[in-house]
Amino acid sequence: MQLVEEFLRALARNVRMNLHVVVPYGTNNHHMAEAISKALGKSLRMACQIDPRETAIPSTKGIL
């Protein structure tokens, strides 16, 4: 798990993103690492996809 933690820390630092990982239970490090990587992959895919419910690409122009 130490290498997973170091990888996630380096990823968050270099991508400049907030990354919060909580594994509430589990004893097998292999399965915990699998769950973390699967959740990370799904969340990154969701963050990069355009929401099909939106009619236009969202923008903060003029709002901030």
- pLDDT value at residue 1: 83
Residue 61, pLDDT above cutoff 90 = no
Alpha-carbon distance of 55 to 32, in angstroms, equals 38
Q: Output the pLDDT for position 49.
A: 85
Both tokens of 23, joined, read: 């594994």
DSSP state letter for 61:
T
The CA-based dihedral angle spanning residues 44, 49, 51, 52, taken in that order and rounded to the nearest 10 degrees = -140
Averaged over 1-16, what is the pLDDT? Answer: 94
Q: What is the mean pLDDT of residues 29-45?
A: 95
Rounded CA gap, 14 and 39, in Å?
A: 19
pTM: 0.74
Say whether pLDDT at 19 is over 70: yes
Q: How far is CA 12 from the centre of its chain?
A: 9
Give domain limits for the chain: 2-42
